[in-house]
Chain A
């Protein structure tokens, strides 16, 4: 049976008896909307900054708080895409293609309404899909042993590295170096390594301060060269009635909504790809199938619907790999995995088996978030569109202070702020030279897990590598990993060669 009704009943009881779980949702959505709407501020950064606050919540509330930031950020990015022609986040790039032309035509209210409705619909779809399939996924991944988990983790880090950035080799280097850093501390057999004599590092590098440094500090320091985040674009006049009319506009394209949602959920489940790619893929597909593709880019609402439904449904897709495998697919889910660890919970198959009711509660809570987002988004667009004009210097100073204090709160000592500074510097350098930060973060999270699983494999197999052939799934994952490593750079090389050939022909 795919659906575990007793666990669903337990989930409903959990959600019904915990008011804090619901109280944090509007707050998280608001934070996500604000950070998503301000170009330069990323949703994963917001999640990392507010992660310390979740230590004082129960696990369910913490997860709902973080997922609500994730959800709010998904739509927040679309607000600045539409009103200012600037994607608030990388997940809202395709929203700009038609959202901004709609604004130039005076249809920004309708565009915002269509984007909000599509976001909510996409999110609902992906979480319903997750709700229906998580039972099956759980029974499937429960067959995973340490070798399969090792392969999945390596595959995930590799994919994030090679697909997430502009350079295959730099992305992969960031991921693998992150894995190496993740093994610092006490090894699975009790040997301390790489601690440089610092006793506080015996438990390894504190991941959350490192993550805050990589995601937040490095980005914020880079923003200091800008006076205002956005130019002197005047606030557009917003109309509640016309935004509602935008809902109707989105409802006129159910096929595009469904297509975007399906593509988003599937692409979102692939580590390293996620919503940054799904919104572009869905937009391209909607344009390709349309009778009048030339109207795309000229303010066609179908473009907004395709992009927003896909980027929101990617959230549910990325939760599949997080919940089922304990593997984060990108920055946002990496922060969630860190929250798992902060609450002494190990994500993955055992988590689904042992705490099925909490898994269903997270899914059901997220379904409810879609409706919360619809109302909150509708009533706060005025405020958020005004906020993007706050001078950046005030925001960066405030967020840096919160990050440092949060890092101290997490470790209870100055180790947190020191790690934050060190990884902030590292992240700044990585951004400057185009290395993938999400790949390093995921590597850092997965390092210890990979090391432990490899030791288990060694002990189970007695050091005989033929053991790999006794595990067909692990073998398939290993082959997949090698194909990814071989095929992706080959395809990129081919593309680059063609581009150069085209350029020289044109010249």
Chain B
């Protein structure tokens, strides 16, 4: 049991995977119990659940999360450790805002914010890059695609 609790993050991942698998199988069998419907997914789900157990009980110490492959070391500090979370939050907010702001405005804000978040300096440069790239990318895609993208300005 100690081994299982040694890496709580991985425990959550495995539990999430197992829960999703069980939910999917229950949904599938509720739709139809025919062999053709379940022949592949039920044995597969059993194998997935067995592997979940195997992963839990054979896991090593939490792995070093630094697949840098020789790239420059991450900038230090606790604030920086949270940076990917902020960046991912900004990314989710960007995608959710597209239907409301359109690709052009959402792109501009996201690019400027994303660049600024990673450096916390030269806000004007980030804003300028956001304006040029965000608007430029929206315009290029709108020109190429045969249908209209959600836009506010273009």
Contacts and interface: CB of A to CB of B under 8 A. Distances in A.
Contact of A217 (B17, B40, B91): B91
Given A221-B84, A229-B71, A231-B72, A169 B51 contact: yes
Contacts of A397: 110-111, 114-115, 129-130, 133
A107 B137 CA distance: 40
B98 to A, nearest CB: 7
B10 A433 contact: yes
B110 A169 contact: no
B48 interface: yes
Q: B69, B70, B87: which has the most chain A beta carbons within 10 Å?
A: B70
B37 A458 contact: no
Contact of A173 (B17, B32, B91): B17
A191 interface: yes
Contacts of A225: 74-75, 80-81, 83-84
Contacts of B60: 167
A149 B123 CA distance: 55
Contact of A398 (B7, B84, B111): B111
A179 B40 CA distance: 10
B44 A393 contact: no
A224 B51 contact: no
A3 B54 CA distance: 48
Nearest to A450: B40
A402 interface: yes
B35 interface: yes
Interface string A373-415: 0000000000000000001111011101110110011001010
A404 B52 contact: no
Contacts of B40: 183, 450-451, 454-455
Interface string A100-115: 0000000000000000
A425 B58 contact: no
Contacts of A425: 88
Contact of B21 (A180, A420, A451): A180
Q: B39, B110, B149: which has the most chain A beta carbons within 10 Å?
A: B39
Contacts of B71: 39-40, 86, 226, 229-230
A432 B9 contact: yes
Contact of A191 (B31, B54, B88): B31
B86 to A, nearest CB: 8
Prevailing SS type, chain A contact patch: helix
Contact of B63 (A85, A412, A433): A433
Contact of A455 (B39, B103, B114): B39
A401 B137 contact: yes
B63 A224 contact: no
Contacts of A188: 36
A424 interface: yes
Contacts of A179: 44
A458 B35 contact: yes
Contacts of A85: 70
26 contacts: A39-B69, A86-B69, A86-B70, A87-B70, A166-B63, A177-B21, A187-B37, A193-B28, A217-B91, A221-B88, A225-B74, A225-B81, A231-B72, A397-B115, A397-B129, A398-B111, A405-B141, A408-B103, A414-B98, A420-B95, A428-B88, A432-B65, A434-B63, A450-B40, A454-B39, A454-B40
Q: Nearest 6 pairs between A and B by C-beta? A: A86-B70, A225-B74, A393-B118, A173-B51, A193-B28, A397-B114
Interface of A: 39-40, 53, 56, 84-87, 90, 96, 166-167, 169-170, 172-173, 176-177, 179-180, 183-184, 187-189, 191-194, 217, 221-222, 224-231, 391-394, 396-398, 400-402, 404-405, 408-409, 412, 414, 417-418, 420-421, 424-425, 428-435, 450-451, 454-455, 458-459, 463
